[in-house]
Amino acid sequence: MATEATLHDGSTIEVEVHGTGPVVLLPVDPRPAEGEQAGELRKWGMDPALGRSLIDGLRDAFQVVAFDYQGHVMSTPKPGTLTPANVAADLLAVADAAGAGRFAYYGYSWLALSGLQLAIRTDRLSALVMGGFPPYGGPYAEMLGVTRATHAMAVDPQPAPVSAPVSEPESGSEPVSEPESGSALVSEPESGSEYDWSSAEVTIGEEATRQFVTLYEALRGFDDREVRLSCPRLCFAGSADEIDYDERWGGVRVSIGGPLARHEAELTALGWDVAVLDGLDHMSAMQPPNVLPLLRPWLEKTLL
């Protein structure tokens, strides 16, 4: 079944509903990439049908509500209004359009932090799953620095300096190009390869980059250590999900796996189930072969 949801800025987003059972909201692109785009994704170790693979891995036991929220905000930017409250309102609008009173939510990277913002604003969540962004000790200040730097380059592009290769960029960061839907707004190499991050070029527009500055600026006063939730919740990330940005990108270290491992005891005490996926980086930890063996059994235990 397909329907549409009207979002906070009056734009609409297509929503697909698959299967029957407890409702799970998935902000993923249900349409596999094709042709040259699919080939590029495979080259970087990505599943061209990432969203479809997740849907197909859950639809026999759950009612999956799939919608490409990242693709939508990239094509219909919300430069002054992509705030946590408005993102949460958009997610609720999708649930309403699908006829879901209560629902679980799984998001990865910035869509995971969006799920946390949703959870503190509604009592409709039956479960929350955050992948690729820690719910405790998250790198909000660092991401604000990266997004400001990215926006500045979109406004006034400068030639990239020559530098030695550095580690691959963290894919919850804001954007250079969009290799796949659902998490990354930067162009990343295949896991294990090196990437000359300093030579990357910002290839999307000012409004698309500014909306993420708006998001992280609105989170400057947010203290995730004070959050207390009652719904069942799972968080996971790869142990190798770390990235050092050079000065061109704000000169910050964005740590995802580190906080999850360091604060596992605190998170467990707060009622979170925690999984640190050994050796996986940001991109590999979001691939369906790594996500589904964790996500599906947890949802079955929690919702069925």
Which pLDDT does position 160 carry in this prediction? 52
Which pLDDT does position 158 carry in this prediction? 67
User: Would you say residue 79 has pLDDT above 50?
Assistant: yes
Q: How far is it, in rounded angstroms, from Cα 130 to Cα 295?
A: 10
In the chain, what percentage of residues exceed pLDDT 70? 85
Q: How far is it, in rounded angstroms, from Cα 129 to Cα 96?
A: 20
Q: How far is it, in rounded angstroms, from Cα 37 to Cα 68?
A: 17
Which pLDDT does position 247 carry in this prediction? 85
Order the strands of the 103-108 sheet from edge to edge.
2-6, 12-18, 63-66, 23-26, 103-108, 125-131, 233-238, 272-277
Which pLDDT does position 244 carry in this prediction? 86
Burial of 262 from C-beta contacts in 10 A (0-12 / 13-18 / 19+): middle
Phi, psi for residue 267 in degrees, rounded to 5: -65, -40
Fold of the domain spanning 2-303: Rossmann fold (3.40.50)
Which pLDDT does position 250 carry in this prediction? 83
pLDDT digits (tens, 9 = 90+) for 35-62: 988 988 888 788 999 999 999 999 999 9
Beta-strand relationship, 125-131 and 233-238: parallel
User: Would you say residue 168 has pLDDT above 70?
Assistant: no
Q: Rounded mean pLDDT of the chain?
A: 88
Mean pLDDT of the region 174-184: 37
> What is the distance in angstroms between the CA of the first residue and the CA of the last residue of the chain?
23
Q: What is the DSSP letter of 193?
A: -
